Amino acid sequence: MNGHSLISGEWMAGEGSFHSAPATGDAKTYSAGTPGLVEQACAAAEDAFWSYGYSTREERAVFLERIADEIEKRGAEITEIGCSETGLPTARLEGERGRTTGQLRLFADHIRDGAYLDYRHDAALPDRQPLPRPDLKMVQRPIGPVAVFGASNFPLAFSTAGGDTAAALAVGCPVVVKGHPAHPGTGEIVAEAIDAARQSLDLHPGVFSFVQDGGVAVGGALVQNPFIKAVGFTGSLRGGRALFDLCAAREEPIPFFGELGSVNPMFLLPAALKSRGAEIAKGWAASLTMGAGQFCTNPGIALVPEGSDAELFIAEAAAALQDTAPQTMLTDGIARAFCEGRDRIASEPTVAAVVSGTAENRDVGAFLYRVSADDFKASPVLAHEVFGPLGIVVVAKDVATFASIARAMEGQLTATIHMDQDDTSHAAKLMPILERKAGRVLFNGFPTGVEVADSMVHGGPYPASTNFGATSVGTLSIRRFLRPVCYQNAPDSLGIEG
């Protein structure tokens, strides 16, 4: 551990420093990133693009696999410091490491196939009347250097070597990562693994750089650097929106792929509620408190039609949540924000507290509230994400009310329908609304846990994300860092093909 930033293959110190705030163990001192280091990293990334952007699919696939190997070599070290910095349990860190290396290898397999290039060829028609057609070839090409912001709640899978980095490297885009201050040591070790993989294959050192946190100045310098052509971000709505606006205000605006948050509503239809409401309640409580509720897909709102079945559901959920022990949140700031959100909900006069857990420093218990559908619609603050183990049950007069509530909701990462066969007609009416509101629509399940697969969509209409046509998870995520180029009458000798 040197506590520095990795800039084009060299570990460099910045001008200032900051201290980590681990959940356990001693704080460590890290050299803060600076706009100057960002400038060096971005210039090196642009220089690297002229070789890495034109490397073969096989060369990049081997690089991704080598990164996975190097991360696994450092597995014990990553788990030790990751648990210390974040308070996450060992099993969670080990599982997340497996997800991280798994998606690197998945992208390697995906680009080897070549189908992602969407290669198209319209052969010339010289005799066509009234005008001949030229020979046209289209293929997806990498856009250039990409900036990635590490996420607080996923120190591995959404950070230094996470999905954004893997997707960009897969298609030929060099990456500059801004590390998250919540886990600087974890970020440093993973950056070391990426650089070791780069060195083993003798790739340009500018292919990957890692800049330690240096406050808003570093983030602003990164997204405004003219060599950066896109940004990947997972974090808060407030922080993401600020960076999004900076990207749009550039002389050359660039896409900002931000995943910003969601309340992930669940709709419990009558037959399902009657037949297995207690089972759903217990599953919801487990999902709501998984990882102290620090998942962007945390299902924060459950809608139920009023009646005895709804009351049983609320009682079962309350019992399960009361049995949940307090958990350590990732950072002091996240814990404070959670308490502020809880207080905001609790202060609404129409909201009734059902479960009130404890909240002391970074250790928080579960909280559950209930409100009528009419009062929910009248209080927009209730539809805002509270990042942590907090749920709201919205009690509607009837299932027909669900549609009006769904229409009024903002964009979501997920929406869930709990249904039995007798609920099909109700579900069919909700479907057209929910598919316009969410990137992933689930049935009879819980959204926590995002499968890394070809079919996954992790995104949604704003404010769930800033680009509703993209996903930050799964192989489709690489399309964010590609653009189509058409070649007209290009000689075959140039080798333009998929």
Write out the two tokens for 117. 């290039």
- The string of DSSP letters for 241-287 reads HHHHHHHHHSSS---EEEE------EEE-HHHHHHHHHHHHHHHHHH
Identity at 126, one-letter amino acid code: P
Of the candidates 268, 343, 346, which has an alpha carbon nearest to the alpha carbon of residue 307?
268
C-alpha to C-alpha distances, 237 to 91, 401, 462, nearest whole angstrom? 29, 28, 10
DSSP state at residue 439:
E
As a residue count, the chain comes to 498
**Which residues, other chains included, contact 3 with Cβ-Cβ below 8 Å and sequence gap of 6+?**
17, 28, 29, 30, 31, 184, 188, 212
> Is 340 among the catalytic positions?
no
Catalytic site residue 486? no
State the catalytic residue, choosing from 42, 83, 173, 296: 296
| H helical segments located in 139-269 | 163-171, 184-200, 216-224, 237-249
Dist CA 417 CA 149 (whole Å):
33
| Structural contact between residues 198 and 208, judged by C-beta atoms closer than 8 angstroms | yes
Compute the distance between CA of residue 85 and CA of residue 102 in angstroms, rounded to an integer: 23
Residue 174 phi/psi, 5-degree rounding, is -60, 155
Catalytic residue among 259, 306, 340, 410: 259
Under a CB-based contact definition with an 8 Å cutoff, are residues 314 and 370 in contact? Answer: yes
Q: Rounded to an integer, what distance in angstroms lies between the CA atom of residue 464 and that of residue 265?
A: 12
Structure tokens at 336: 């404070």
Distances (CA, A) of 436 to 269, 414, 424, 461: 19, 11, 19, 8
- If you ran DSSP here, which 8-state letter would residue 434 be given? H
Nearest Cα residue to 65 out of 202, 205, 193, 151 = 193
Residue with tokens 């100045």: 217
Report the catalytic residues: 259, 296
